[in-house]
Structure 1
Amino acid sequence: MAPPSFAFIPRNIHKDRKQQGTSAHVPSPLEPTPAIERGEPAYPGPSVIDKGKGKAPEPSAKPVYNETDISILVVLAFSDYALWLDSDLRRKTEESLQNESHDAGFLPLSYLMRRAFGRENLGQEYMPTEANVVKAIRTYAGDVLEVRMLVSAPSASAWYPSWKPERDSLGCYEVRRKDWSTLLDNATREFSRGQWDDRTIYMENIPAQYHTIPGIIRFAQGLLSQCCRSSSDPVPIQNITLPPHHLDKTEDRPKCKGFALVTLCNAELCQIFLESWPWTQPFQPSKSDDLGLAEDDLETKEASKFGFRTLPKARWDKLNEQYLAYRQKLINELADANEPPDISPDFDVRLVAYEVLEDIPVPPRNVTTMSSPYPLGCLVFARNLHLETNKTTLRALFTNAFKSSSLDPGGIDYVDFNKGMDSCYLRLASPEHGRVLTDYFSSQPIVQSHGLDDMGKTPGASQKAITTEIIEGKKEEVYWEKVPEKVRRQAVEKAVKALNGKQPSAPAHSAQEHSEESRPRKKRKRG
């Protein structure tokens, strides 16, 4: 009788015999997740030959957190504020709470991890493993979250219809809040935006070593722990918002520049910060002797050293609007005086001289200012061009629109044209140039008789006249996103000068056209 076949072939273990008796290696949060744990294929990809000799890989600039910070981010992703703000998280939590008590409230840990580390924009290779997160939760957040390992199938909460797209990535652990039985009765479920704003304060001059979201929470909790009225709530910090710089893109990872909006669990904690670290004169640190806080506390010393201070969010919103108007007023005055604005890129992160800003009006939002991401109303789309034309001819053709006006004839900054096309984009120096150009071509229809025709002629019966259109709104935004940032800033500065009555002095054929967005040309073969 033939011996029964095995269901699997045991691995050869003689090569690993030298490792017997050693403890199993547990990857740290700094180590990349193995391919098998990440759900990647086990077979190797294409080999890459490293031509360098002993060249060490460049260090990554992405943040990698320790266990304390990992636990803070996971707790923050499951806070009352997160449940109020994130409709998908709230729906899945409510579905899970309908299960039996032993399964009620549990969510896949992998699902919560994506929310905890998603906005940090960590690459997959820098994401902590579930084992790392479980260890961090059990060590530092055991009074807030409960974690369990899935021995067999996932809990019933994972098989609801809304979970179907995620069944392949549920992972090995589930997590729920310790207060899961009272979540449906939590008053914060019915909060309005204004009620959360009442529990939010603005913090400025945060010490440099705390310039991350977990760092801000550790810093704030450290200050609270020294107050005589310390909070008994296990999650006193509900949310951290890092206000973006006016030049930041929507996809950029938020960076702390020393200030943040911090949402607390109740208004009493807000009052503690506002009274202990009041908003005094700009950049004047408070004295720790007058705060009722422990002098030997690290957070207290650092807060006093850096001049840490706080402000209610409602007051910050109002002063921020006034400040932006004041900043623009200074820039306009410097431009009128024909002096370059001596303002650093981070100038707008400081709220200064509030006492003189009360009656300053806010500038209209549809006018280009120095803080605009691109020049508004300065993009024109032209169609029905000759298929054999070129950029030089088009520049001369469209410049004809300014000959009978008082505008600078060199108002065409760039002709965005590809050879063989019958359309192009025109970047203009000011919105007024765009209006004059479109009015000119709509009042007297013309066509190009040949590719080098830079004057145009009256179209025939079967010919389509050149049409021009000012691009605004979403199309305008999408177009400028593809333009290099340096070029956008130069265009904004030129548009602001034009709005202030200073006509651009750039030559008709701008050097920008020869430098920006230039494509690498093929080397000429030597015969």
Structure 2
Amino acid sequence: MFLPRQVRKTYTAGHPTPLPKSSASKNKSLVVSPEKPKSIEPVAVAASSTTTAAPTNITRPGTIDLQSAEAIVVVIEQLFSSENPWTEWLDARRREIDGEHDYVHLAAVIECPYFKEHRPALSQIIVRRAFEAIPSRVLQISQDGYHIRLSSSTPRIPIEDSHTIYVEPSVSNATTRTPGRLALELHKTLPAELLPVVYTTNEHRSWALLTLSAPVTQEHIDNHESWPQGWIVLTRTEWEKRDAMYKQKRHEALQARLASHHVREMANAPPIIPKHTFEPGLIVHITNIHLDATKPSISGFIMRCVDRVQRKRDKADGKPEAIPQRVKINYIDYKRGTGQCYLRQATVKDSELIIEALKKRRRVMLDGDDKKGKKEKDGYVQGRLLEGVEEAEYWRKVEEVMGKVGKKGAGQGVKALSAGLATVNLRGTVKRPRTGTGSSPDCLGKKGKFEEMLA
């Protein structure tokens, strides 16, 4: 079964190992670059030696490592000369320089997300030194040295699946950090009919897709002399087939694990009782309230309607006049300006009484503080009971908010539900005693009784 290298390989903690240096890398002769124009004189470069060299990602003033310079030039040539995912990104940054069009500033080139993890990290100075050391055959540089464009005689090459191969280099981080060196390594071994490398992806650390200049057949893949030692190479079609097979195997393994004996026991266990349950019939949806209404005015309006209906009912039944039993509204969920709210009652009987009272009274709120209302045939305040899925969805939202902020203190979850949610606590039917500024024993006694009631 096909397994990607990153699955099979065991990595150790620490930084990834650098690319291995071969004897060919010490040779200063260019691998794929064409003959240098005689009119361009390259700048001085760091001389090679048989002793241990300094890291190639460190450049001294006026010098650049030839291998790094060549890799930089190759990868920039690929970006400009192929129809790759970054073509539109570069085209959007073209400008006119010295009367010539289609130039792109070096600052825009190095800002391309393609170079996000490139090593060495690119700068305008490094790119200029790279092009001075390794002149490009397909790119033109402006007179100021800070703008480049594709030569008018060089057409852009499309990326075709038949020309694309999948490679896993022997070093895992070579694909994202030095994609240009992958192309240079292939230039050493591939036959001329497949060269040059048109484009190299760098989206993954351990593998890459490279587009060549000609279709790649299975005969090319089977010829091991055409590829660097230790590399895994597949055609794109074969790689996609094996990748789909690998994902299918992983899916089947996961399904087999889920169907194990332990999971079956868990599935056959009795269902867990939900933590939050609710009693149906406690939520009344109120509509047609005034846009400037407040929570106190809404509660006063509702209570007045219920009070009048109860008094008329008791009078019709011949009962002695008494203070009617008021309904208990636990919460009023309301956001000012919406013209609607939700009432949470203590019992189902309270919900039914509120709906009945509003239907019989047929009152319209004239302003935001109106608690009496005016009788009208249409547009009056109405109430309906939430039922079924609508009621369950309402309680689900309440439980979700209470679960997020319920631990911050009492009432926090309620206030956070709709930015206008509030709790209205309606005390019992005991009438609040009048308190005054006098100091008589009777007045002091009433005040003490009121404080005792609140306690």
TM-score bracket, normalised by the shorter chain, equals: 0.3 to 0.5
Superposition TM-score, scaled by structure 2 size: 0.42
Superposition TM-score, scaled by structure 1 size: 0.37
Larger radius of gyration between Structure 1 and Structure 2:
2
